[in-house]
Amino acid sequence: MKSSVPYVLPEARERVIELVSRGQYLPAIKLVREATGAGLKEAKEYVDGLKGEAFGRVVPPEVQAKARALIADGRWKDAAKLVRRDTGLGLRASKDYVDAVREGRMPPQPGAVLSDRVRAFKAAGDHESAIALVRAETGMQWDEAQRFVDALR
């Protein structure tokens, strides 16, 4: 979703992300409004758009990969439980993170190559999660993803 909020200075954006990561949504919205002059609706949409990035900073890559695999299998509630259990994030924050992934607002970890993450699942003996991860990030059908996973050494 493209934000209709005017440009937010990097310092203010980082402060907003910090507030969001602590679950302080109202102060984050207020800061966006003060920094940009945006309306309430636009500021809220902007803050909602940063939730994935904010929580993604505290979710380790291996947990992100497992959560993405669960989401790809349609098990988003299990993904939220996993994130909550393995990160200490609260219920609302875990759900917000999973929603951001489901809605495509959470890009993969920078530098985290899909093939490397798939190999990690294979090394752990979790072939189904490897396939689900490939499907989630590429849109491949199950059989295509299976061939991709099988081809990786």
Nearest CA-CA partner of 133 in 150, 144, 143, 121: 121
Q: Which pLDDT belongs to residue 25?
A: 92
The 10s digit of each residue's pLDDT in 93-115 is: 899 889 888 877 766 555 567 88
Q: Which pLDDT belongs to residue 110?
A: 56
Domain positions in the chain are 10-56, 61-151
Categorize the per-residue pLDDT at 1 as very low, low, confident or very high, splitting at 50, 70 and 90: very low
Nearest CA-CA partner of 81 in 48, 4, 70: 70
For the segment 128-142, the average pLDDT, to the nearest whole number, is 84
Contact present, 51 and 114 (Cβ < 8 Å)? no
Burial tier of 74 (Cβ tally within 10 Å: 0-12, 13-18, 19+): exposed
Q: Which pLDDT belongs to residue 86?
A: 94
Categorize the per-residue pLDDT at 136 as very low, low, confident or very high, splitting at 50, 70 and 90: confident
Would you say the pTM of this structure is higher than 0.75?
no
For the segment 131-150, the average pLDDT, to the nearest whole number, is 87
